[in-house]
Structure 1
Amino acid sequence: MILMKDIVRDGHPSLRKKTTEMNFPLSEEDQKLASDLLEYVINSQNDEMVEKYNLRPGIGIAAPQVNAEKRMFALHLTDEEDNIVSFVAINPKIISHSVEKTYITAGEGCLSVDEVIEGYVPRYSRITATGFLSDGTPFKKRLKGLTAIAFQHELDHLNGIMFYDHINKINPYAEIPDAVAYDRS
C-alpha cells in the first residue's frame, strides 16, 4: 500500500523526467504498481483510511510520484454527471482537445507539492484521450470538466511537467483567454 512517505516531493529528480512507453503484457511488478496507484487515490478519499494512515486526499497519482519511471497514472473521481471515473491509464495520449480552456478557481494541488501554490492553471476544457488499461485493453475517452483537468495534470507528470509550470509568473491570477472557470466547491 502506498503511503505519504512513498510519494516523492517537489524537487525530486523523478518528477522532472519524461517517462518512456510501457510494453504489454505488463510485468507483475508493473501490474502491482498500477493497482497500488489506484488503491492510493481510492483510499485517500475514504475518511477512515485518511485518518488511519495519515493520507493526503487526491484524485490522481502518477508513477513518477512514487519514483517509478513508468508511463502510467491512476484517476479516481466523480464527474459532472455523478459517475465514478476510476481507472489506470497506461501510455496515455491526448489526441484532440477543445479550443476553450478551463481552470480551477481555487487552483490545483499535487500530492508531491506540500505548499499551496496560488494561481490559475490553464487546461483544455474538453479532451479526447487514448491509452491502455492495465490489462492491455485500449481505451478512448472523451473527458470534460474536472476529469479532463485531472487527466491533463497527471499526463504532465509523465512528461516531467509540474502544474505550477503553467501558472502565469507575473500575474498568477491573470485572466485566461477563452477560458471558463471551474469551481470545485
Structure 2
Amino acid sequence: MILMEHIIREGHPTLRTRAEEMTFPLTAGDRQLAENMLQYLINSQNPEIAEQYGLRGGIGLAANQINSLKRMFALHLEDEKGEQLSLVAINPKIVSHSVEKTYLSGGEGCLSVDRNVPGYVPRYARITAKFFTIDGEEQKIRLIGLPAIAFQHELDHLNGVMFYDRINEEDPFASIPDAAPFDRE
C-alpha cells in the first residue's frame, strides 16, 4: 500500500527527470505498482481510510512521484457527466487538443508539493489522448474539464515538469488568452 511517506516531494531529482517508456508485457512488479498507484487514489478519497493512514486526497498520481521513472500514471475522478473515471495510463500521449485553454480558478495542487502555490496553470480545455492499459491494450479517450486538466498535470510529471512551472511568474493571476476558468463544484 502506498502511503504519504512513499510520495517524494519537490526538490527530489526524480521529479525533474523524464520517465522511460514501458514495454509489454509488464513485469509483475510494474503491474503491482500500477495497481498500487490507483489504489492510493481510491483510498485517499475514502474519508475513513484517508484519516486512518494519513493520506492526502488526490485525483492523479504519476510513477515519478513514487520515485519510479516509468511512463505511467493513475487517475481516479469523476468526469463532466458525474461518471467515475478510473484508469492507469501507460506510455500516455496527447494526440490532439483544443485551441481553447482552461485553468482551475483556485490553482492546482500536487501530492509532491506541500505548499500552496497560487496562480493559474494554463491547460488545454479538451484533449484526445492515447495510452496503454496494464494489459497492453491501446485506448483512445477524449477528455474535457477536470479530467483533461488532471491528465495534462500527470503527463507533465512524466516529462519532469511541475505544475508551477506553467504559472506566469510576473503575474500569477494574469488572464490567459483563449481561456475560460474551470471551476469544480
Q: Give the TM-score category using the shorter length.
A: over 0.9
1:16 pairs with 2:21: no
Instruction: Name the residue aligned to 1:85.
Output: 85
State how far apart, in whole Å, the 2-side matches of 1:79 and 1:69 are.
Answer: 28
Percent of aligned pairs sharing the same letter: 63
Q: Alpha-carbon deviation of 1:111? A: 0.1
Q: Alpha-carbon deviation of 1:143? A: 0.4
Q: Aligned-residue CA RMSD in angstroms?
A: 0.4
State how far apart, in whole Å, the 1-side matches of 2:182 and 2:127 are.
Answer: 15
Give per-residue Cα distances to partners, 1:94-144, cap 9 Å, x unaligned: 000000000000000000000000000000000000010111111000000
Superposed, 1:114-133 pairs within 5 Å as 114-133=114-133
Give per-residue Cα distances to partners, 1:32-79, cap 9 Å, x unaligned: 000000000010000001100000000000000000000000000001
1:168 pairs with 2:168: yes
Question: TM (normalized to structure 1)?
Answer: 0.99
Q: Which runs of 4+ in 1 moved over 6 A?
A: none
Instruction: Name the residue aligned to 2:104.
Output: 104
Question: Please, which runs of 5 or more residues in structure 2 have no aligned partner?
Answer: none
Helix, strand or coil at the partner of 2:114: coil
Instruction: Name the residue aligned to 2:6.
Output: 6
State how far apart, in whole Å, the 1-side matches of 2:25 and 2:16 are.
Answer: 27
1:148 pairs with 2:132: no
Helix, strand or coil at the partner of 2:76: strand
Instruction: Name the residue aligned to 1:64.
Output: 64
Question: TM (normalized to structure 2)?
Answer: 0.99
Question: Please, which runs of 5 or more residues in structure 1 have no aligned partner?
Answer: none
Q: Alpha-carbon deviation of 1:22? A: 0.3
State how far apart, in whole Å, the 1-side matches of 2:183 and 2:151 are.
Answer: 17
What is the aligned residue count? 185
Give per-residue Cα distances to partners, 1:153-181, cap 9 Å, x unaligned: 00000000000000000000000000010
Helix, strand or coil at the partner of 2:34: helix
Helix, strand or coil at the partner of 2:146: helix
* Amino acid in structure 1 at the alignment position of 2:92: P
* Amino acid in structure 1 at the alignment position of 2:35: S
Helix, strand or coil at the partner of 1:131: strand
* Amino acid in structure 1 at the alignment position of 2:8: V
State how far apart, in whole Å, the 2-side matches of 1:134 and 1:150 are.
Answer: 19
State how far apart, in whole Å, the 1-side matches of 2:146 and 2:12 are.
Answer: 27
Helix, strand or coil at the partner of 1:20: coil
Instruction: Name the residue aligned to 1:73.
Output: 73
* Amino acid in structure 1 at the alignment position of 2:69: E
